[in-house]
């Protein structure tokens, strides 16, 4: 518990960084998608403009909603902000002792999901119920799959602490083992499902019959919508960051000192640019799945994760 | 006893006597005066708190008090003992008893004197019987109180005995309870064969503990007792009474049965396997069996819960699930112990014991919440509810807390025990055999799946019954429950939050309990270094600080709130209608129903269910959609068994003959055979 | 143990082989299934090459060459042409629902790997850990055959089963004697050709490749 003040400052810096990078990442993905589909892409900072505009707008309270509806955006946003403190961003050396491990992180994401789904049910509209139900349908397989991916990384590092894991992976061999490859594949599918990306959900449209994320946010407006959207963009960023710290931690700073941190920040920026572009490319190439096929998709993620640690048991011990 | 002052055991016995007295008083007064005197439940609540104190006293001071009462069978006086394990379960019993009793003060006000007399007699006696189970120190006393507990709870289940369905539920419960007790009786007798003493004295726990049995006999005792306690706990496939009995009983009774009585079976299992059989005599296969049973029960319970729209039945299935989670921890601990890995074994056992307490708190909270909802709306179907969060804000809030706890979300208490279970399952790599390793991790995968499904199920319950718009007149006219109900639920909700944020002191207590039972504890005893962090093994491996997490969460929410309020646009005046997707009108029936919410699961896990679905015809002017999901155990296990028994008794029936001389022939043959046999 | 790079590549190949069978279990389209089968052939070739490189067993290179020719070029081309001439398209039927099949698959992997554990101890080859993967592939291919209705997908399952056997053989004993491998390869080729003839016969008699029709005939 050394450096209490320093770690508080560091946490604050990390929150600000994540809060800014989140919308930026979404803007970047949208930009690349625009270019790839031969459209004139929106500016990379368009999400910031949207957020700013939403914050200035009036907030409407739909009829028939309870206090939970107004509370949910704050819970979702705060869960994401707190979650960002559990992931190593630039350095695998954490200032103080972390508040929790990766399982706590999964729990926080689940908390946000439950509140989002509950708020959707609170509107009392058919759409809200549909969105909430579908979100939970994706979640019930994505959450255990994430835990299983954590089991796989645990096999390598003997730790569920995110910082320790990325340190071990970074110092280990560059050659991927089958278990890590399976884990990474499973994680990629989870990332798509959890963040309502193609082929699970299309973040770009309001197509009624297939949407999940938008269906839940349909009745939100003004600052509540801004918080929800901001929180979602941070969630995408956090999933990428967690994936980077588990499967591509090379370039992260391993020792204290600002020079290392700056270098790591540059490396992180590079990785995020590449990852965002890759995500956009994948989304452009894929078609959206039928909603009935979504559980099968998530089962594949679950099974890949199981195969990950089974192959460790079979091969690597 | 009084000579050397008061001991925790004597305190518990006093509480027992007090409860019995309370019951008689309530019954007698309400019968004589013809009035409903709910004030007896105040005393009952107070006694519950005293019991909590007594239990904490035992655990905190490492007390192991024993007592012999000159009652009972010749050669076998009543042996009573309150050690740390009993103390811990007394805390579980006492805290739920206090909250439920306080809730009952308000809840039973509207009862008729006759019904109230019945309830006010049996509820405190039920509590006293459970206390007796926990302080018993010989097989006779244990089974005596065990049977008393079963009988009294049977009386409570059939409180509304005019309904045929309720009588059937009660009968089913009684049947399985007796099946369990007889299995337990056999297992105790088998166990006593190896005890050093002879005669009835062999039945005291002390001599059972020091006995030596052949390994084959050990295995028999283990599996018999597992089945016997399993029938009470609701382990698959002996769970079928739970979804029938819980909806039949009044809400406080269901809360006690699900919150506490099922835990008595857990206590029995721990006592039997770790205390009497002794951890040294167990083999890894036993742990694996418990693990598999637990994992299957967990998944099966939650899947069937997702199919229900009757809230109490839904909660009953969740009890099966949570017992499964507790058993996963217990099985893991036996598996690890018998393969000489004490560290994960103690983590798993503490997770299991902690989940026992957690489940007692949130499950009774949820049952009480459902009880209030049913009392206010008059509806046993959540498809007729909706919008209760606005009409019953307190009940809704407490129910939400219970739901978040049972879903295993941080920073509530359910998360802590699940986190600990995962931490111990992660040690699977240390196990030698590929099969056990895969088994442990697959069980952990099922646990994760079950907990995610639980979250889904409670989004359904809260979303359909408390959020949205009322679907029926009952929900539209509901009002908030009384002050007693609110306080009773509030106590439990505070417990859920408190244990979620400050689990470390409780785990320190559990650590002492585990040390006293198996002689080993957590590598870093909780509280020994810091109360902020929960560290099972080392900070580098895993740590969780619920205090910091909850604190920073609250801080971020508060700051966001303030900043957003300062710098954002205003609230629009008034309330605006929601978007109807272009339809001219919208009714409350267009909202998702509970069945609709469970549809993806029904589709996905269809082999787990027996589904009978009636789809409306397109030309039907009054379309109706009906759905019935049945437990496959009925079709594939219980009905065939019933048919077989009926067939066998039909055969036996043929022996019957109206002529008395035939009976005399039977007697003669029997005598003859016996003489040959005993020659 | 002086070849960490090759070893980890071989392990990765084993994992990928297992993955391909799971993909076979989950997909519905025949074309994709044939492509997956082609990928299996590539994996087998690469595996034979790497094991050969480490162990210095030269016949493995020959084996790799034949695998490449037969399983990556000849058989897929044959199958594609067959499908083309049979004018099959659209979805493949699945008997049990896909998630349940996959869960069964996982249980099979656990079973196979605990079964292979003693074998692994006995074998002396460097890639012996992969025997469990090979065995799992064999059993999972059986599951593919069981869970499918169309004759052509069942043949694909059979071919994948043979791949699993070959994979186990390469890793457990550096391949079977060359003559056996030749024989098996020839059998597979002839078998596929025969199946092709059968498909036409079945279709001409029942106007469908669904085996349900065939079973009905049996009952009649």
Residues B92-103 pLDDT 10s: 999 999 999 999
% of chain A exceeding 90 in pLDDT = 42
Q: Which residues, numbered 159 to 178 in chain C, qualify as contacts with chain B under a Cβ-Cβ cut-off of 8 Å?
A: none
User: Which residue did the predictor score with more confidence, B494 or C79?
Assistant: B494
Q: Convert the pLDDT of each residue in B522-573 to its tens digit.
A: 877 777 777 788 888 888 888 889 999 999 999 999 999 999 888 877 777 7
Q: Which residue has the tokens 């070893």?
A: C7
- Find the residue in C nearest to B440 (Cα): C110
How high is the ipTM of this complex? 0.94
Reported confidence tier of residue B270, pLDDT bands at 50, 70, 90: very high
Residues in chain B with CB shorter than 8 Å from the CB of A114 are: 404, 407, 409, 455, 458-459
- Find the residue in B nearest to A132 (Cα): B459
Classify strands B65-73 and B76-82 as parallel, antiparallel or unpaired: antiparallel
Exposed/middle/buried for A288, CB within 10 Å: 0-12, 13-18, 19+? Answer: middle
pLDDT for the residue numbered A3:
42
Q: Averaged over C132-136, what is the pLDDT? A: 84
Q: Convert the pLDDT of each residue in B39-78 to its tens digit.
A: 889 999 999 999 999 999 999 988 888 888 888 777 778 8
Token reading at A203 = 């973040």
Instruction: Work out how many CB contacts closer than 8 A connect A with C.
Output: 68
Helix (H, G, I), strand (E, B), or coil: what is residue B569? coil
Asked if C137 and C163 touch (Cβ cutoff 8 Å), the reply is yes
pLDDT for the residue numbered C209:
61
Of B439, B442, B604, the CB nearest to C99: B604
Residues in chain A with CB shorter than 8 Å from the CB of C22 are: 300, 303, 307
CA angle C71, C72, C73 (to 5 degrees): 100
Q: Is B478 on the interface with A (CB under 8 A)?
A: no
For chain A, strand residue ranges (E) read: 59-62
- CA–CA separation, C4 vs C11, rounded Å? 10
Kindly list the partner chains of chain C, i.e. chains with 3 or more CB atom pairs below 8 Å. A, B
Q: Convert the pLDDT of each residue in B374-410 to its tens digit.
A: 999 988 899 889 889 999 999 999 999 999 999 999 9
Q: Which of A39-43, A253-257, C81-85 has the highest mean pLDDT?
A: A39-43
Residues of A within an 8 Å Cβ radius of C: 173, 175-179, 181-182, 295-296, 299-300, 303-304, 306-307, 310-311, 313-316
- CA–CA separation, B203 vs B186, rounded Å? 12
Rg (C-alpha) for chain A, rounded Å, is: 19
Instruction: Report which of B289, B255, B254 is spatially closest to residue B269, judged by C-alpha positions.
Output: B289
Q: Is C19 on the interface with A (CB under 8 A)?
A: yes
Q: Is B435 on the interface with A (CB under 8 A)?
A: no
Q: How many residues does chain A have?
A: 317
Tell me: pLDDT of A257 over 80: no
A255: left (phi over 0), alpha (psi -120 to 50) or beta: beta
Q: Is B433 on the interface with C (CB under 8 A)?
A: yes
Q: Is C98 on the interface with A (CB under 8 A)?
A: yes
% of chain B exceeding 70 in pLDDT = 99
Q: Under an 8 A CB cutoff, do C133 and A295 touch?
A: no
- Label each residue of B356-386 as H, E or C: HHHHHHHHHHHHHHHHHHHHHHCCCCHHHCC
Residues in chain B with CB shorter than 8 Å from the CB of C117 are: 433-434
Residues in chain A with CB shorter than 8 Å from the CB of B462 are: 118, 121
Asked if B255 and B363 touch (Cβ cutoff 8 Å), the reply is yes
pLDDT for the residue numbered B355:
96
pLDDT for the residue numbered B2:
44
For chain B, give the longest Cα–Cα distance.
101
Q: Which residues, numbered 119 to 178 in chain A, qualify as contacts with chain B under a Cβ-Cβ cut-off of 8 Å?
A: 120-130, 132-134, 136-137, 139-144, 147-148, 151, 154-155, 158-161, 164
Q: Under an 8 A CB cutoff, do C129 and A314 touch?
A: yes
Reported confidence tier of residue A213, pLDDT bands at 50, 70, 90: confident
DSSP code for C70: I
- CB neighbours of B583 closer than 8 A, spacing ≥ 6? none
Element containing residue B614 per DSSP (H, E): strand B610-614
- CA–CA separation, C146 vs C95, rounded Å? 8
User: Which residue did the predictor score with more confidence, C202 or B173?
Assistant: B173
Q: Which residues pair with B79 in a beta bridge?
A: B68
* Helices then strands, each counted (H, E), chain A: 11, 1
Q: Under an 8 A CB cutoff, do C114 and B606 touch?
A: no
Tell me: pLDDT of B282 over 60: yes
Evaluate the omega torsion of the peptide bond into residue A17 and state whether it is cis, within 30 degrees of 0. Answer: no
Q: Is B296 on the interface with C (CB under 8 A)?
A: no
Asked if B95 and B45 touch (Cβ cutoff 8 Å), the reply is no
Q: Under an 8 A CB cutoff, do A310 and C106 touch?
A: yes
Tell me: pLDDT of A100 over 80: yes
pLDDT for the residue numbered A277:
95
- CB neighbours of B586 closer than 8 A, spacing ≥ 6? A125, A126, B578, B580
% of chain C exceeding 70 in pLDDT = 73
- CA–CA separation, B184 vs B142, rounded Å? 10
pLDDT for the residue numbered A165:
85
DSSP code for B339: T
Of A177, A295, A310, the CB nearest to C110: A310
Instruction: Name the least confident of B135-149, B271-285, C107-121.
Output: C107-121
Q: Averaged over A89-105, what is the pLDDT? A: 75
Q: Is A68 on the interface with B (CB under 8 A)?
A: yes
Reported confidence tier of residue B1, pLDDT bands at 50, 70, 90: very low
Instruction: Name the least confident of A302-316, B255-269, B290-304, B320-334.
Output: A302-316
Q: Is A49 on the interface with B (CB under 8 A)?
A: no
Tell me: pLDDT of A176 over 80: no
Helix (H, G, I), strand (E, B), or coil: what is residue B66? strand
pLDDT for the residue numbered B644:
93
Q: Convert the pLDDT of each residue in B403-431 to its tens digit.
A: 999 999 999 999 999 999 999 999 988 88
Q: Under an 8 A CB cutoff, do C11 and A296 touch?
A: no
pLDDT for the residue numbered A95:
46
Smallest Cα distance from A284 to chain C, Å: 20
Q: Which residues, numbered 235 to 294 in chain A, qualify as contacts with chain B under a Cβ-Cβ cut-off of 8 Å?
A: 292
Q: Under an 8 A CB cutoff, do C110 and B435 touch?
A: yes
Of B389, B542, B579, the CB nearest to A66: B389
- Find the residue in B nearest to C106 (Cα): B442
Q: Under an 8 A CB cutoff, do A296 and C105 touch?
A: no
Evaluate the omega torsion of the peptide bond into residue B165 and state whether it is cis, within 30 degrees of 0. Answer: no
Tell me: pLDDT of C123 over 80: no
Q: Under an 8 A CB cutoff, do A310 and C98 touch?
A: no
Q: Convert the pLDDT of each residue in C155-197 to its tens digit.
A: 888 888 888 888 888 877 776 666 666 667 767 777 776 777 6
Helix (H, G, I), strand (E, B), or coil: what is residue B612? strand
Rg (C-alpha) for chain B, rounded Å, is: 26
- CB neighbours of A48 closer than 8 A, spacing ≥ 6? A23, A24, A27
A2, A7, A111, best to mutate vs chain B, most B CBs in 10 Å: A111
Q: Averaged over A158-184, what is the pLDDT? A: 82
Q: Under an 8 A CB cutoff, do B592 and A81 touch?
A: no
- CA–CA separation, A228 vs A224, rounded Å? 6
Q: pLDDT averaged over chain B?
A: 89
pLDDT for the residue numbered A1:
36
Tell me: pLDDT of A13 over 50: yes
Measured from the Cβ of residue B613, the count of other Cβ atoms closer than 10 Å reads 11
Token reading at A126 = 């058919």
- CA–CA separation, A251 vs A170, rounded Å? 8
Q: pLDDT averaged over chain C?
A: 77
User: Which residue did the predictor score with more confidence, C86 or C135?
Assistant: C135
- CA–CA separation, C25 vs C141, rounded Å? 8
Residues in chain B with CB shorter than 8 Å from the CB of A226 are: 568
Instruction: Name the least confident of B161-165, B608-612, C2-6.
Output: C2-6
- CA–CA separation, A274 vs A162, rounded Å? 22
For residue A142, CA distances in Å to A139, A230, B451 come to: 5, 22, 12
- CB neighbours of C205 closer than 8 A, spacing ≥ 6? none
Q: Convert the pLDDT of each residue in B466-500 to its tens digit.
A: 998 888 888 888 889 989 999 999 999 999 999 99
């Amino acid at each position: 518990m050394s450096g209490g003040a320093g770690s508080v400052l560091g946490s604050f810096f990390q929150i600000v960084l994540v809060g800014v990078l989140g919308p930026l990442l979404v803007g970047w993905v949208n930009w690349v998608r625009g270019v790839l589909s031969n459209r004139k892409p929106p500016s990379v900072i368009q999400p910031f403009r949207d957020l700013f505009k939403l914050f200035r707008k009036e907030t409407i309270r739909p009829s028939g909603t309870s206090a939970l509806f107004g509370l949910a955006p704050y819970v979702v946003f705060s869960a994401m902000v707190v979650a960002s403190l559990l992931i190593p961003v630039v350095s695998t050396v954490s200032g103080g002792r972390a508040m929790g491990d990766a399982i706590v992180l999964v729990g926080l994401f689940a908390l946000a999901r439950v509140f989002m789904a509950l708020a959707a049910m609170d509107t009392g509209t058919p759409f809200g119920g549909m969105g909430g139900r579908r979100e939970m349908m994706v979640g019930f397989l994505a959450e255990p799959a994430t835990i299983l991916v954590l089991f796989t990384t645990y096999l390598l590092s003997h730790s569920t602490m995110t910082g320790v894991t990325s340190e071990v992976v970074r110092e280990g061999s560059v050659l991927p083992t089958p278990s890590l490859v399976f884990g990474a594949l499973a994680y990629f599918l989870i990332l798509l499902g959890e963040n309502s990306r193609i082929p699970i959900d299309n973040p770009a449209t309001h197509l009624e019959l297939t949407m999940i994320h938008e269906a839940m946010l349909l009745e939100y407006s003004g600052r509540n919508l801004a918080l929800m959207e901001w929180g979602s963009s941070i969630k995408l960023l956090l999933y990428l960051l967690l994936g980077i710290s588990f499967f591509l931690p090379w370039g992260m700073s391993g020792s204290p000192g600002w020079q290392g941190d700056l270098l790591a920040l540059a490396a992180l920026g590079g990785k995020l640019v590449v990852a965002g572009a890759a995500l956009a490319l994948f989304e452009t190439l894929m078609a959206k799945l039928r909603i009935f096929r979504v559980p099968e998709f998530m089962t594949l993620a679950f099974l890949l994760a199981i195969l990950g640690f089974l192959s460790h048991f079979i091969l690597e011990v | 006893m009084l000579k050397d002052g008061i001991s925790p055991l004597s305190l518990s016995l006093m509480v027992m006597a007090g409860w019995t007295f309370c019951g008689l008083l309530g019954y007698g007064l309400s019968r004589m005066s013809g009035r409903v005197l709910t004030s007896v439940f105040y005393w009952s609540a107070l006694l519950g708190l005293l019991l909590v104190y007594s239990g904490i006293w035992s655990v905190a001071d490492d007390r192991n008090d024993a007592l012999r009462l000159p009652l009972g069978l010749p050669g076998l006086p009543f042996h009573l003992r309150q050690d740390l394990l009993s103390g811990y379960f007394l805390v579980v019993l006492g805290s739920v008893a206090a909250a439920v009793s306080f809730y009952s003060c308000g809840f039973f006000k509207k009862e008729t004197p006759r019904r109230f007399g019945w309830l006010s007699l049996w509820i405190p006696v039920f509590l006293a019987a459970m206390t007796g189970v926990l302080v018993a120190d010989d097989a006779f006393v244990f089974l005596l109180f065990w049977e008393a507990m079963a009988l009294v709870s049977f009386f409570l289940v059939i409180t509304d005995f005019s309904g045929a369905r309720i009588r059937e539920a009660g009968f089913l419960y009684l049947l399985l309870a007796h099946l369990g007790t007889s299995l337990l009786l056999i297992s105790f007798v088998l166990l006593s064969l190896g005890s050093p003493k002879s005669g009835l004295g062999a039945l005291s726990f002390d001599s059972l503990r020091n006995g030596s049995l052949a390994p084959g006999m050990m295995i028999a005792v283990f599996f018999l007792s597992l089945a016997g306690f399993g029938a009470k706990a609701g382990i698959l496939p002996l769970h079928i009474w739970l979804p029938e009995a819980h909806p039949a009983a009044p809400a406080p009774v269901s809360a006690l049965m699900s919150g506490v009585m099922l835990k008595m079976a857990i206590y029995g299992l721990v006592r039997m396997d770790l205390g009497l059989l002794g951890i040294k005599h167990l083999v890894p296969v036993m742990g694996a069996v418990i693990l598999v049973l637990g994992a299957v029960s967990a998944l099966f319970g939650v899947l069937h819960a997702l199919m229900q729209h009757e809230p109490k039945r839904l909660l009953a299935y969740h009890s099966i699930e949570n017992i499964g989670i507790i058993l996963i921890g217990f099985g893991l601990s036996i598996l690890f112990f018998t393969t000489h890995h004490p560290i994960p074994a103690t983590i798993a056992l503490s997770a299991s014991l902690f989940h026992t307490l957690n489940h007692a708190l949130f499950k009774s909270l949820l049952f009480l919440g459902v009880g209030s909802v049913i009392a206010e709306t008059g509806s046993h179907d959540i498809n007729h509810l909706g919008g209760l969060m606005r009409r019953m804000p307190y009940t809704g809030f407490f129910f939400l807390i219970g739901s978040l706890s049972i879903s295993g979300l941080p920073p509530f208490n359910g998360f802590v025990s699940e986190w600990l279970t995962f931490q111990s399952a992660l040690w699977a790599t240390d196990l030698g055999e590929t099969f056990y390793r895969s088994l442990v991790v697959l069980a952990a995968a099922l646990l994760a799946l079950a907990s995610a499904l639980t979250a889904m199920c409670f989004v359904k319950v809260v979303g359909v019954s408390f959020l949205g718009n009322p679907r029926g007149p009952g929900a539209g006219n509901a009002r908030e429950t009384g002050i007693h109900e609110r306080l009773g639920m509030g106590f439990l909700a505070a417990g859920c939050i408190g244990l979620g944020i400050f689990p470390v002191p409780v785990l320190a207590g559990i650590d002492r309990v585990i040390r006293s039972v198996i002689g080993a504890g957590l590598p870093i005893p909780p509280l020994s270094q810091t109360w902020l962090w929960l560290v099972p093994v080392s900070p580098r491996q895993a740590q969780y600080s619920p205090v910091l997490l909850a604190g920073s969460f609250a801080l971020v929410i508060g700051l966001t709130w303030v900043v957003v309020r300062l710098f954002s646009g205003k609230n629009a005046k008034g309330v605006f209608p929601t978007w109807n997707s272009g339809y001219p009108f919208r009714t409350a029936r267009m909202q998702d129903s509970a069945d609709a919410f469970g549809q993806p699961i029904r589709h996905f896990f269809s082999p787990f269910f027996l589904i009978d679905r009636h789809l409306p015809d397109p030309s039907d002017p009054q379309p109706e959609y009906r759905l019935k999901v049945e437990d496959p155990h009925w079709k594939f296990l219980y009905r065939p068994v019933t048919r077989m028994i009926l067939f066998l008794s039909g055969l036996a029936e043929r022996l019957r003959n109206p002529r008395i001389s035939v009976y005399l022939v039977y007697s003669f043959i029997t005598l003859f055979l016996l003489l040959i046999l005993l020659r | 143990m002086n070849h960490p790079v090759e070893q980890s590549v071989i392990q990765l190949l084993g994992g990928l082989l297992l993955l391909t069978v799971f993909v076979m279990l989950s997909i519905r389209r025949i074309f994709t299934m044939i492509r997956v089968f082609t990928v299996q052939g590539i994996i087998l070739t690469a595996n034979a090459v790497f094991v050969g490189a480490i162990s210095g067993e030269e016949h493995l290179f020959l084996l790799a060459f034949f695998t490449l020719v037969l399983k990556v070029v000849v058989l897929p081309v044959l199958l594609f042409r067959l499908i083309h001439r049979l004018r099959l398209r659209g979805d493949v039927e699945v008997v049990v629902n896909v998630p349940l099949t996959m869960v069964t698959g996982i249980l099979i992997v656990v079973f196979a790997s605990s079964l292979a554990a003693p074998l692994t101890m006995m074998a002396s080859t460097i890639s012996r850990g992969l025997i469990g993967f090979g065995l799992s592939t064999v059993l999972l291919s059986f599951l593919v055959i069981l869970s499918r209705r169309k004759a052509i997908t069942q043949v694909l399952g059979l071919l994948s089963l043979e791949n699993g056997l070959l994979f186990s053989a390469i890793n457990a004993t550096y391949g079977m004697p060359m003559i056996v491998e030749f024989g098996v390869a020839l059998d597979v080729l002839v078998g596929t050709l025969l199946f092709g003839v059968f498909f036409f016969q079945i279709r001409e008699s029942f106007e469908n490749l669904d085996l349900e029709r065939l079973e009905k005939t049996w009952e009649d």
